[in-house]
């Protein structure tokens, strides 16, 4: 997770135990046994959605983050001095909550950190109740988490990285047989309007995917098993008409598919070369350059996935017109690329854990 952005403001509804879907529409629907819950896209950079924790349920808006692994929500010790008001989980009010052994754990991201203690409680995601789910009750947010609008984070990585023996939401969904297929998919819709909330932001679905959300077939690539993140190998990144110039020419050109990151992040040198090729010197460009910007291709699994200037440039008109590239240099000088929301908005993404030895990720052009 580079910069937290996947928020999902949702109203929970009940569906079957086969598929759980959190949809990005303002209203709630039940279609064919699938649970759809409304999501919002905030200002083109964040998607947030509602889950509930405890018995009786206490509601929280969380980031659904494929770049991290753990679930946390604010505890009663969360400070009042924040930019936005947040609900606080009252463990004593939940008859199913219990604290686990161990001390406090520092939960840190590329941007932001909190401190949490491990607990277990029932968690409702899109109408499916996960029994005795591990989660962290958080306090002591840093400056970043004091400023955000969402309440917590629900990590969708493979295995927990914070506490030995703890189990992720995704692991428990599969283990408790709450979904028929060990698959979840993300459909992120571009923001409509100039700032604020767009009520039609997309959908996250557990247990399958909706073929009405993409064109053609997915191209699948195996996940690299070096860590617990959804990481894949890429073959090439190149500018339209110049396939010989590969900006992803490392022996191991890898990318983390991260729904908790706003943009596409890459190594300093590679991103700098892309800027030079398209006539940019920094992330902010002159809007007069926009019409002439070329398409950029990412070759993944033998398929050439195309981003147009409309996909990799953010254009704002309020209060004045500005243009910002959404392919940016990594803050920590990492060699891996990060395919964040700017990429995932263009491509419907399936995270398939059906083969536990070879999980895979699929991409198809979103509608």
Q: Which of 65, 70, 121, 263 is catalytic?
A: 65
| Residue 99 CB-half CA count within 13 A | 13
**Cα distance between residue 129 and residue 123, in whole Å:** 6
Active site residue 258: yes
Given the residues 151, 258, 311, 336, select the one marked as catalytic: 258
Our answer to whether residue 228 is catalytic in this structure is no
Task: Please state whether beta strands 254-257 and 337-339 pair in parallel, antiparallel, or not at all (unpaired).
Answer: parallel
Provide the greatest CA pair distance for the chain: 62
Residues forming the active site: 65, 258
């Amino acid at each position: 997770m580079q910069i937290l952005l996947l928020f999902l403001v949702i109203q929970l509804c009940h569906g079957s135990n086969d598929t759980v879907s959190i949809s990005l529409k303002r209203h709630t629907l039940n279609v064919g046994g699938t649970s759809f819950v409304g999501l919002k896209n905030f200002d083109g950079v964040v998607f947030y959605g509602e889950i509930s924790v405890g018995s009786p349920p206490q509601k929280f808006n969380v980031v659904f983050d494929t770049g991290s692994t753990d679930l946390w929500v604010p505890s009663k010790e969360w400070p009042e001095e924040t930019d936005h008001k947040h609900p606080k989980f009252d463990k004593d009010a939940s008859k199913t909550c219990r604290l686990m052994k161990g001390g406090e754990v520092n939960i840190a991201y590329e941007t932001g950190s909190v401190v949490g203690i491990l607990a277990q409680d029932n968690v409702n995601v899109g109408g499916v109740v996960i029994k005795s789910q591990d989660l962290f009750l958080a306090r002591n947010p840093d400056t970043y988490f004091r400023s955000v609008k969402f309440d917590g984070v629900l990590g969708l990585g493979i295995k927990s990285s914070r506490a030995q023996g703890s189990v992720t939401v995704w692991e428990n969904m599969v283990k408790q047989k709450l979904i028929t297929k060990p698959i979840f998919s993300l459909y992120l819709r571009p923001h409509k309007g100039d700032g604020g909330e767009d009520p039609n932001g997309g959908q996250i679905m557990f247990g399958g995917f909706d073929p009405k959300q993409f064109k053609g077939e997915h191209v699948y690539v195996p996940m690299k098993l070096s860590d617990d993140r959804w990481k894949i190998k890429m073959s090439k990144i190149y500018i339209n008409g110049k396939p010989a110039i590969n900006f992803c020419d490392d022996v191991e050109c890898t990318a983390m598919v991260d729904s908790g990151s706003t943009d596409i992040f890459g190594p300093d040198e590679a991103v700098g070369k892309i800027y030079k090729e398209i006539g940019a010197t920094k992330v902010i460009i002159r809007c007069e350059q926009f019409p002439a910007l070329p398409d950029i291709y990412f070759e993944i699994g033998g398929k050439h996935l195309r981003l147009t200037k409309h996909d990799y440039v953010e254009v704002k008109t309020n209060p004045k017109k500005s243009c910002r590239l959404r392919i940016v240099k990594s803050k920590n000088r990492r060699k891996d690329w990060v395919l964040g929301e700017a990429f995932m908005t263009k491509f419907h993404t399936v995270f398939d854990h059906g083969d536990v030895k070879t999980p895979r990720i699929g991409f198809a052009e979103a509608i």
